[in-house]
Amino acid sequence: MIEQYVLDFQEVDETQVAVVGGKAAHLGGLSRIEGIHVPAGFCVTTAAFRRIMAEAPSIDDRLDQLWRLNPDDREAIRTLSAEIRQTIEGIAIPGDLAAAITRALGEQAAYAVRSSATAEDLPMASFAGQQDTYLNVVGPAAILQHVSRCWASLFTERAVTYRLRNGIDHRTVHMAVVVQQMVFPDAAGILFTADPVTGNRKVATVDAGFGLGEALVSGQVNPDVFKVRDGEIVAKAVAAKQRAVHALPAGGTREVAIDPRRQEQPALTDAQVVRLVQFGRRIEAHFGRPQDIEWCLADDDFQIVQSRPITTLFPIPAARDRENHIYLSVGHQQMMTDPMKPLGLSMWQLTAMAPMHEAGGRLFVDATPRLASPAGRAGFLEMVGRSDPLTRDALETVLDRHDFVPALPEAGPGGPPVGGASAPIETDPAIVTELIERSQVSIAALRRDIRTKTGPALFDFLLEAFQEHKRALGDPLSMQAIMAGMEATWWLNDRLQEWLGEKNAADTLTLSAPGNVTSEMGLALLDVADVIRPHPEVVAFLQGVEDDGFLDELPKFAGGTEARDAIEAYLDRYGMRCVGEIDITRPRWRERPTTLVPVILDNVRNFEPGAAKRRFEQGRQEAQKKAQEVLERLRVLPDGEQKADETKRMIDRVRTFIGYREYPKYSIVSRYFVYKQALLEEAERLVQANVLLEKEDVFYLTFQEFHDVARSNQVDDQLIQQRKDAFRSYHALTPPRVLTSDGEVIAGAYRRDDVPAGALIGLPVSAGTIEGRARVILDMAQADLEPGDILVTAHTDPSWTPLFVAIAGLVTEVGGLMTHGAVIAREYGLPAVVSVVDATRLIPDGQRIRVHGSDGYVEILP
């Protein structure tokens, strides 16, 4: 087979990334779009790069060394990558290859020579700015020299570090080189076909400056910025452009000062901006996604010199119509904003009470119908606002535009408010007991009946089981019990602030509320530590544990059998839990018990025997004392007896029902573990039948696709690989609280002026003020806590509760008044502020902070 070393743009398109790299593949695609002008040029293919690399066997050893480096070892990366670049630039280009390149040059004197890597300008990762571009290269000898430099630029320090951080093998990425006729423009810049800041797909942004675009791209000058929507300029900011980059006749470029009289003139006319955006929309339609486009303007003719996907935009949920929609993040409600694998997404969709939409590996609910109803809107906003003020503010920002969500005509007078007006429920602990018994009977039946199901019959059985799952989730009595506890909490906070001037009084009144399966889980791990503490050999062994088979090793040590039995009993009750438990594909504690070992060891070190019982009793007594004090203070007010009676009823109600708030999630996750074990057995059967390479591959299929594989015994390996790549890319995306169908991300803001300057604002969810050392922990398994530490993390679901017994306060980036972390913080009496934007970035680990749990802010102390 004869290798092709040079291909004209007309010979390549987007399907040939492996041959010509991302940049050249896009240029080939661009040159085929009618009406789009691309400067002529050609590409030196990856075959040429591979031939050059083969000329220097020493590079192979260096690539091995490079792969073994830590991405943070900047000095070693700098030294080794510089050696590789030097070696590549020192290799003489073979005569036939040099001749093929110079033959392609033609009459044109000046060229731009640009790197085009095979892992560049891809839909999932742009790798922008990692390799090199050389402008106005004049003459064949200079062009060959710069082609070598482009090859070498695959090993710049930043490109190597990026690949190491993303686990991309250096050998799998190859370098092609674009050689393109030079344009000498009057103006140049960048066009984003979607607003890169807000994500709005209907707003294009044009950055423009005089001369070559290099001054603008490198940040040497402030550009003019135009925003265009529906063919009209909706915003314009003309900058004072003091400098420009121009080409020199003999080659190369230089920076020049702009005549002061021209500096504040726009680089483009309004008509040119609108025309450029029309070209951009044509390019976007061709590539099927928003684009980041580099353009030049010469003699009123726009030339497109590059187009790549904008990879930082959060994807939009697919809709069946062209109407406007407002989507709310499910992850912000469920305390899990990480991406989920396809099986996890589809299982949650199949078992949830409301229709859900997927985008960027996350789930969203469409709030538009709720917001379109004038009668229901106020109640819905009130409910959302109690949970998360940032989400409410974001929704109101959209609603203030008036035209985005048209109001639906009212169905007529009457009808319950949004969320349904629940009938009053009596304050009777037997209700909670009955609900828990119902759940346990249903789960026991599921465990019994699923055992005999395999193959397609398992999936048919599960579809029926999901209906029972939803029935249990939507049980009217269960919903009433949850709402009774929540509404009583709100009632107490509102009334006691109004009558006694007391903020968040319910926080103390809910301390050690009975029957909370999540707070019991945290205390139960203290009891496990009590069993282990007296046995130094067991403690020493656990300190070195890395393998999940450690439970089988424990009986070899004095006290090890008791330790094993205590951990096993804990896993029998709570082993279905894990971080991110709404994603069925996440490893459960029962599957990965090592996750609990650092927490057990912290408990052994930080606590005295009997701490769980003492802690619960102390909280119960504080709540009792607070209740008596509140009632006594109420009785001396006008209408005091009536106020005290009402308050007493609400305190009883809160203590009866608030603990049950956590049970439905425990029930869901218990069912999930039963489903998961059955599905993994099915996956193992498919591995044994040589259908799957490994059983975890099914995590990258939806439930229906997995069902199809079980029926046909055939799987699309390429689809699984694509899903793995996509899942990896979703980690780089920050999911929004609120997202519109235009792709606009709306963050929301706190409208408060009652906090000290420099404080971080959040939502107060558990009263009290505490000072201490911030421990910024993103992975529960990496926790290393001392008494008095304040946990700072992105979000906490129930699986984080075992850490709560060891901390003095809590700060999270995500959360609401009734989310799990808030409920448990109140039960344990921990001052807590949640929904603090960027808390894990703005609070350094080890920093002393003060958490104001009653007022909702965090101070960073000197």
Q: Which residues are catalytic?
A: 820
Helix H or strand E segment including 500: helix 476-500
Cα-based distances in Å from 118 to 46, 82, 127:
8, 21, 10
Report DSSP state, residue 809.
E
Q: Under DSSP, is residue 184 helix (H, G, I), strand (E, B) or coil?
A: coil
Q: Rounded to the nearest 10 degrees, how much is the dihedral formed by the CA atoms of 568, 570, 575, 581?
A: -160
Tokens at 115, concatenated: 């790197």
Give dist(CA 181, CA 693) in Å, integer.
Answer: 48
- The length of the chain, given as a count of residues: 862
Residue 18 C-alpha from the chain's centroid: 30
Give dist(CA 789, CA 796) in Å, integer.
Answer: 16
Which is it for strands 203-210 and 187-192: parallel, antiparallel or unpaired? antiparallel
186 within 8 A of 298, measured Cβ to Cβ: yes
DSSP 15-72: GGHHHHHHHHHHHHHHTTSTT-B---EEEE-HHHHHHHHHT-THHHHHHHHHHHS-TT
146 within 8 A of 134, measured Cβ to Cβ: yes
Which residue type occupies 28?
Answer: G
- Residue 519 main-chain phi, psi, to 5 deg: -70, -35
Using CA of residue 139, residue 144, residue 145, residue 151, what is the dihedral sign? Answer: positive
Which is it for strands 291-298 and 187-192: parallel, antiparallel or unpaired? antiparallel
45: left (phi over 0), alpha (psi -120 to 50) or beta: beta
Residue 30 C-alpha from the chain's centroid: 32
Nearest to 431 by CA among 515, 362, 530: 515
Helix H or strand E segment including 172: none
Give dist(CA 653, CA 93) in Å, integer.
Answer: 83
Edge-to-edge strands, sheet with 133-138 = 6-8, 41-44, 175-181, 110-117, 133-138
Report DSSP state, residue 483.
H
Helix H or strand E segment including 207: strand 203-210
For 332-372, give the secondary structure using H, E and C.
HHHCCCCCCCHHHHHHHHHHCCCCCEEECCEEEEECHHHHH
Tokens at 557, concatenated: 């040590």
Give dist(CA 603, CA 562) in Å, integer.
Answer: 17
Give long-range contacts, CB 8 A cutoff, 24+ apart: 674-679: 674/443, 674/446, 674/447, 674/450, 675/347, 675/450, 675/462, 675/465, 675/584, 676/584, 676/585, 676/588, 678/450, 678/453, 678/458, 678/462, 679/343, 679/458, 679/584, 679/706
Q: How many C-beta atoms lie closer than 10 Å to residue 258's C-beta?
A: 18
697 within 8 A of 679, measured Cβ to Cβ: no
Nearest to 596 by CA among 536, 532, 679: 532
Cα-based distances in Å from 829 to 3, 784, 808:
71, 21, 9
